[in-house]
Copies of this chain bind each other. A is one copy, B any other.
């Protein structure tokens, strides 16, 4: 087949027009029993005034995860973050940024309920927003409150990943403070999955999985009722067999 590219020059990267590379962050937390996502209001074009995922350009000598951590620090003011960070996916469709060809590597962050983030240098302000309404409108045309760029899709992919990972990893503990009760952990699952779980069976499943959580040695009565044992996240990396999502419960 006739190749439009001359083979000699096709192998020299200097002959290709430049791409810009950015990182975008899907930062999730659980507040008041529902899933929230960290958003910024864009302070400059394009999409000025619209809400977007935090993120920015990768620097020339910066590794991708370092860029993600830097952007997160700039938006939240948190230095040593007790959060989980993993690569989500990469989005590079031509035209997704009207300025030029931009390839964006998205990262997923699961964090405990951090203090209200301060405004970063790149954004007019930052805030926690409930994820539900943003997911519901992900496939609509770009309406008033819609996210900039293709961020609604990135957010949907991030929430899907988080929901799936709760099934077979102990990542739900990263949504909790360092010491937490089994009931608090259960409320994380209920918030992320949007369903009810049986408190008794959940308690047995979690405490019955070796190394999933370890007793912290003290109790708390926050929330009222009988004092609950406090736990820390354990060293287990996988939950086998997985914890299965059930259909929305009959009660409530």
Residues on A facing B (Cβ under 8 Å): 3, 7, 10-11, 13-14, 16-21, 44, 56-64, 87, 89-90, 92-94, 97, 99-103, 105, 121-122, 241-242, 244
A92–B58 alpha-carbon span in the complex (Å): 10
Q: Are A13 and B105 in contact, with the CB atoms below 8 A?
A: no
Known contacts A89-B87, A90-B90, A103-B103; is A20 also within 8 Å of B13 by CB?
yes
A101 partner residues in chain B, CB cutoff 8 A: 60-61
Known contacts A16-B20, A105-B103; is A93 also within 8 Å of B121 by CB?
no
A90–B86 alpha-carbon span in the complex (Å): 11
Chain B residue nearest to A62 in the complex (CB): B94
In the complex, 13 of the A-B residue pairs with CB atoms within 8 angstroms, ordered by the A residue number, are A3-B121, A13-B99, A13-B100, A13-B102, A18-B20, A19-B21, A60-B94, A61-B94, A64-B92, A64-B103, A87-B89, A87-B90, A242-B242
Known contacts A13-B100, A100-B13; is A58 also within 8 Å of B244 by CB?
no
Interchain nearest-CB distance for A120 vs B (Å): 11
Interchain nearest-CB distance for A139 vs B (Å): 19
Chain B residue nearest to A73 in the complex (CB): B1
A14–B17 alpha-carbon span in the complex (Å): 12
Interchain nearest-CB distance for A97 vs B (Å): 8
| 8 A-B pairs with least C-beta separation | A18-B18, A13-B20, A90-B90, A64-B92, A19-B21, A17-B60, A90-B105, A11-B44
Q: Are A20 and B20 in contact, with the CB atoms below 8 A?
A: no
Chain B residue nearest to A101 in the complex (CB): B60
Contact check: which of B92, B105, B244 meets A241 at CB < 8 Å? B244
A18 partner residues in chain B, CB cutoff 8 A: 17-20
A97 partner residues in chain B, CB cutoff 8 A: 13
Q: Are A93 and B57 in contact, with the CB atoms below 8 A?
A: no
A10 partner residues in chain B, CB cutoff 8 A: 56-57, 122
Known: A16-B20, A19-B20, A103-B105. 4 other contacts (CB 8 A): A10-B122, A13-B20, A19-B21, A64-B90
